[in-house]
Structure 1
Amino acid sequence: MTSTADRTELFHALHRPGPLVLPNAWDVASALVVEAAGAKAVATTSAGVAWSLGAPDGDRLQRDLAVDLVARIVRAVGVPVSADIESGFGSTAGEVAETVKAVAEAGASGVNIEDGLGAGQRDVGEQAERFAAAREAAPALYVNARIDTYLRGVGDPADRLGVTLERAARYLEAGASGIFVPGVVDLATAAELAKGVDAPLNVLVWPGAPAVDEFVEAGVARVSLGSGVAEAAYAVARRAAEEMLTLGTYSSVENGIPYGDLNALFQR
């Protein structure tokens, strides 16, 4: 087991040149599965974490529960861990700093902080203050600044690239380490973003999106699946329940990870 400082240094290095490929986890078991598959780091999905702990996504989960889960994952795996902390579990920059400090003390090497607010985005100046507070609270942490312009369809489509690049510049100046722009899977747009952002660029992928290698060619440094893996896992649970309750059969749970293999992941 390496130190937190070593893991954090490694996590920064994994972005340059990349690609850092992250099939996101949401609990200790999924984190161990992702690590065993060969991932160089584990990143949580805020949606999956919230669902697994009994809350909807969208800053509704109690901060302490999120931090506790991060600590559990950090103790379980041997690779760096990045925590999706939504918009920081706080209404003020000071509260965001408290969250980031707690997550860093739990052993995380990075965080995602989003600028989405309701159906739109937080004021860019206010959000920059939140990133500055996060950086001051945890100087070594990798702070991934999520910009929701495309994900939420904010403003005129013709202006989104420029607005996103302006926000990226402000957030990097405030102390962000990288930029995350979910909602972009068009390779030309990804290439323009990568060219215009002076930091590693992260995109979110889903079925039908270009392959990782194509994003790398466009200049993307980090590729995430977000809540996709958790959604797929819960879809298996629903199919299995519906099949058993309606047909009395069990084929939906075929091809699961064998009990012994899964249980062995915990025998560290």
Structure 2
Amino acid sequence: MTTTFAELHHDDELLLLPNAWDHASARALAAEGFAAIGTTSLGVAAAAGLPDGASDTRDETLRLALTLGSGPYLLSVDAEDGYSDDPDEVAEFAQQLVAVGAVGINLEDRLGPPALHAAKIAAVKAAAPGLFVNARTDTYWLGGGASETRDRLDAYQRAGADGLFVPGLTEPREIAALVKDVDRPLNILYTPGGPTLAHLADLGVRRVSLGSLLYRRALGAALETAGEIRAARVPGGAAPSYGEVDALSRRSDATHSDGP
């Protein structure tokens, strides 16, 4: 029986990691049977009125991890670039995540110096050996070819990364080739219209993240619903009841089924 986050990356079944942005979304996903849940940096930043990917959400990310870390699931936290160029400060943040119950961390290189990102990974693994470090390279988002991707991932796995993440990579042949070139579980970002989960599993991918997709879809549904009501039409689609959402807070007084 799988008991650790790392083992989920080596299980017979592909690990599909949905990404939550608050307590209710994490609890709802757990109720749907997801054993592991990640956070989305875009959702955290948007909720706080801050830009994503600018290293401005350290406190908000830690606050969310504190909220989610005791949940009935394994928690992996998107920590952007670690919120610092100092590997020791990144390692300190990783220790704080472990202290509140996180079992994984996602660290992105933003196409900065690979040696610096490798140093962050090594510092985190030294300070928090049990924390699953998913090392992300942005070569397919910010520029850079297959050769640079392999070089960066090689440096990151030699630094101690437990998993490797290449968002933006969708071409099946390139995915299959990369799986053969690395010695760690490969993480791909799900893309609507891209390879299916079954296809990705056949290619050797071990983890598929949903990133900000669920948050963006939820926001899209909210806008669509508001537009339908304004146009005097009854909105379609499913929505949890007030009581169901309120119950996700685990409040003892959540006994009513209707409300504002």
The answer as to whether partners of 2:55 and 2:80 remain within 8 angstroms in 1 is no
Distance 1:59 1:99, change over 3 A: farther
| Residue 23 (structure 1) aligns with | 18
Query: Which residue identity lines up with residue 29 of structure 2 in the other structure?
Result: V
Query: Which residue identity lines up with residue 80 of structure 1 in the other structure?
Result: L
Asked if 1:247 corresponds to 2:218, the answer is no
| Residue 242 (structure 2) aligns with | 259
| Residue 152 (structure 1) aligns with | 142
Cα deviation for residue 60 of structure 1 reads 4.2
| Residue 117 (structure 2) aligns with | 127
Distance (Å, rounded) in 2 between the aligned partners of 1:104 and 1:59:
23
Query: Which residue identity lines up with residue 247 of structure 1 in the other structure?
Result: A
| Structure 1 unmatched runs, 5+ | 1-6, 155-159
Moved segments of 4+, more than 6 Å:
none
What secondary structure is seen at the aligned counterpart in 2 of 1:145?
strand
| Residue 130 (structure 2) aligns with | 140
Distance (Å, rounded) in 1 between the aligned partners of 2:55 and 2:154:
29
| Residue 85 (structure 2) aligns with | 91
| Residue 72 (structure 1) aligns with | 67
Distance (Å, rounded) in 2 between the aligned partners of 1:46 and 1:209:
22
Q: Deviations over 1:46-90 (max 9, x none)?
A: 111111222121134331221111110122x21110000000011
Q: Compute the RMSD of aligned alpha carbons.
A: 1.8
Cα deviation for residue 106 of structure 1 reads 1.5
The answer as to whether partners of 2:55 and 2:81 remain within 8 angstroms in 1 is no
Cα deviation for residue 145 of structure 1 reads 0.1
Cα deviation for residue 206 of structure 1 reads 2.1
| Residue 203 (structure 1) aligns with | 188
Asked if 1:111 corresponds to 2:87, the answer is no
The farther-off stretch of 83-92 and 50-59 is 50-59
Distance (Å, rounded) in 1 between the aligned partners of 2:240 and 2:136:
33
| Structure 2 unmatched runs, 5+ | 252-260
Asked if 1:222 corresponds to 2:207, the answer is yes
Query: Which residue identity lines up with residue 113 of structure 2 in the other structure?
Result: D
What secondary structure is seen at the aligned counterpart in 2 of 1:185?
coil
Distance (Å, rounded) in 2 between the aligned partners of 1:220 and 1:62:
30
| Residue 189 (structure 1) aligns with | 174
Distance (Å, rounded) in 2 between the aligned partners of 1:115 and 1:62:
16
Distance (Å, rounded) in 2 between the aligned partners of 1:250 and 1:93:
53
Asked if 1:10 corresponds to 2:4, the answer is yes
Query: Which residue identity lines up with residue 210 of structure 1 in the other structure?
Result: P
The answer as to whether partners of 1:20 and 1:40 remain within 8 angstroms in 2 is no
Distance 1:55 1:250, change over 3 A: farther
The answer as to whether partners of 2:163 and 2:187 remain within 8 angstroms in 1 is yes
Aligned match for 2:31, one of 36, 41, 46? 36
Distance (Å, rounded) in 2 between the aligned partners of 1:39 and 1:209:
22
Cα deviation for residue 261 of structure 1 reads 2.8
Aligned length: 249
The answer as to whether partners of 2:39 and 2:77 remain within 8 angstroms in 1 is yes
Query: Which residue identity lines up with residue 61 of structure 2 in the other structure?
Result: A
